[in-house]
Amino acid sequence: MRDYLIIGSGLFGAVFAHEAKKAGKSVLVIERRDHVGGNIYCEEMDGINVHKYGAHIFHTSYKDVWEYVNQFVEFNNYVNSPVANYKGELYNLPFNMNTFAKLWGIVTPAEAAAKILEQRTAIKGEPQNLEEQAISLVGTDIYTKLIKGYTEKQWGCNCTELPAFIIKRLPVRYTFDNNYFNDRYQGIPMGGYNKLISALLDEIDVRTGVDYNDSRAEFEGIAQKVVYTGPVDAYFAYKLGQLEYRGLRFATERLEEVNHQGVAVMNYTEREVPYTRVIEHKHFEFGMQPITYVTKEYPTDWHPGEEAYYPVNNERNQRLYQQYAELAAKEEKVIFGGRLAEYKYYDMDDVIKSALECACRELH
Ligand code: FAD
Ligand code: UDP
C-alpha cells in the first residue's frame, strides 16, 4: 500500500507529491487530463511556450516560496505591464500616473488625486460591491473606460453584483510605474512552466488520463491517505448541489510576424469586443523567433463537465462551499487542497504556500 494517492498534478498536487517523496513516503499521482501541470501547463510551439490555460505570471512576496521555486528552475526578469485597449485608445495598467496623465492630461500626483476625489463623491461609506469599490478607488472615468466592460464580460454579470475584493487585486499608484503587481518577486520560469512541474514530479509515479471520481473503486485501499485537488462538489457527487464557475475559451493563432502587439498582455476593456485579453506568448520569455503565437481569451458561461476556471464568489456559492467544507472536514483519510478543492481565487504562490504548509503539518 502506498502512503499517498494524489488526485491532480497541478501545483498543489505536485508540491505535495514532491515533499512527501522527499520525506521518504511512497506516492502515486493521478491526473484527469492527458498532461501534468494543471493550469500552468504550456505547449512548446515553434520554440515558443504557449500558455494553454491562460497567461501565467509568477509573482510573490513570500521569500520562502520564491526560493522554493527557484531551486527547480531559474526565473527570468519579466515584469508584467499590460496595456488596456479601449476602443483603440491605449492606457497603461495598473492604474497609475501614466494612465491618469493619458486620460486627463494632468501632470502631477496631486492633480490626479484631485480628479479622483472629485469623481468619487457619489460613494459614501464602505463600498458594498465592485462598482462602488472601483469608483471609490479610481473615479468614474476609469471605471467606465477600463473596468466596467472588462469586468462585466469577465464575470457575466453587473459590477454591482460582484464582491469588492476582486478589484482590490489591482494596484492603484500615484507614481509612473506600470508593474501590474506590488510583489517583491516576479518572473517566468526560463524554458517554461513545464520545467517546474517536471522537476517537482521527478521520479514520481504519475498516471494521466484517469478521472478519480469516475474510477474510485479501482483506487480503493491503494493508499493510506488521499490528497484531493479536484472540485470539492465533484468529490461528493454534487449531493448538495453544484458550485458555479466562470469558463474560458482560448483561440490561438500562429502569425507570420515577429512582433504582433508589442506586449505580452493586451486587455480589451470595452464590452463590445467579446474577448478580454490577447496574449502574445513570446514576450514572456523575450523570444526572438521569426513568427509569433497570439491567444484571444473569451470568457464563457460554464457548464458542468467543462474546465472550471474561476470560482464565482457570490453568497450562494460561498454558502454551498461552506457546507461542502463541513463534509470534507469529516473525511479523515482525505486532504482537500488547491483552488478547486478549496473553491478559492488562489494565485500560484498561494497554492504553493498552502501545499507546503499542508505537507509540513502532515509529514513532520
Ligand atoms: P489546478 O492547476 O487546476 O490543478 C488541479 C489538477 O487536478 C488539474 O490538472 C485537474 O485536471 C486535476 N483534476 C481535477 N479533478 C480530477 C479528478 N477527478 N481526477 C484526476 N485529476 C483531477 N496565478 C498566478 O499566480 N499568476 C497568474 O498570472 C495567473 N493567471 C491565471 C490565469 C487564468 C486564466 C487562470 C484560470 C488562473 C490563473 N492563475 C494565476 C491561478 C493559477 O492557475 C492557480 O493558482 C494554480 O494553477 C492552481 O493550482 P492547483 O493545483 O490548485 O489547481
Ligand atoms: N480588471 C478590469 N480591467 C482590466 C483588468 C482587470 O476591470 O483591464 C478587473 C476585473 O474585474 C478582473 C479583476 O480586475 O476580474 C482582477 O484582474 P486580474 O488581472 O487580477 O484577473 P485575473 O488575471 O485573475 O483574471
The band of 124, judged by pLDDT with boundaries at 50, 70 and 90, is confident
The band of 123, judged by pLDDT with boundaries at 50, 70 and 90, is confident
The answer on pLDDT for 21 being more than 90 is yes
Determine the distance separating the centroid of ligand 2 and the alpha carbon of 167, expressed in angstroms.
Answer: 7
The answer on pLDDT for 364 being more than 90 is no
Question: pLDDT tens digits, residue range 218-239?
Answer: 999 999 999 999 999 999 999 9
The answer on pLDDT for 321 being more than 90 is yes
Question: pLDDT tens digits, residue range 127-140?
Answer: 999 999 999 999 99
Amino acid, single-letter form, for residue 164: A
Lowest-pLDDT choice from 39-48, 242-251, 306-315: 306-315
Question: At 136, is the secondary structure helix, strand, or coil?
Answer: helix
Ligand 2 interacting residues, C-beta cut-off 6 A: 84, 93, 146-147, 150-151, 154, 166-167, 169-170, 267, 269
Ligand 1 interacting residues, C-beta cut-off 6 A: 7-13, 30-33, 38-40, 54-58, 211-213, 229-230, 248, 309, 338-340, 346-349, 351
Give the homologous superfamily in CATH for domain 2-78+185-243+311-363.
NAD(P)-binding Rossmann-like Domain (3.40.50.720)
**No. of helices (H) and no. of strands (E), the chain:** 11, 16
C-alpha triplet 123, 102, 260: angle, nearest 5° = 115
Lowest-pLDDT choice from 51-65, 176-190, 274-288, 306-320: 306-320
Task: Kindly state the average pLDDT of the residues 291-299.
Answer: 98
- Does residue 94 have a cis peptide bond before it, meaning omega lies within 30 degrees of 0? yes
The answer on pLDDT for 122 being more than 90 is no
Question: At 249, is the secondary structure helix, strand, or coil?
Answer: strand
Q: Candidates 35, 39, 265: which one to mutate for ligand 1, based on the most atoms within 8 Å of Cβ?
A: 39
Question: pLDDT tens digits, residue range 51-72?
Answer: 999 999 999 999 999 999 999 9
Ligand 1: atom nearest CA of 80 is 28
% of the chain beyond a pLDDT of 90: 95
In this predicted structure, what is the pLDDT of residue 360?
97
Looking at all shown ligands, the one closest to residue 339's CA atom is: 1
- Which residues have C-beta within 8 Å of that of residue 280, sequence separation ≥ 6? 259, 260, 261, 263, 264, 266, 292, 293, 294
Domain boundaries defined on the chain = 2-78+185-243+311-363, 94-166, 246-301
Buried b (16+ CB within 10 A) or exposed e, 184-201: ebbbbbeebbbbbbeebb
The band of 305, judged by pLDDT with boundaries at 50, 70 and 90, is confident
- CA separation for the pair 260, 223 (Å, rounded): 50
Determine the distance separating the centroid of ligand 1 and the alpha carbon of 336, expressed in angstroms.
Answer: 14
Ligand 2: atom nearest CA of 55 is 23
- CA separation for the pair 138, 158 (Å, rounded): 18
Q: Chain-wide mean pLDDT for the chain?
A: 96
The answer on pLDDT for 304 being more than 90 is no
Catalytic positions, written as ranges: 169, 173, 246, 277, 297, 345, 347
pTM: 0.97
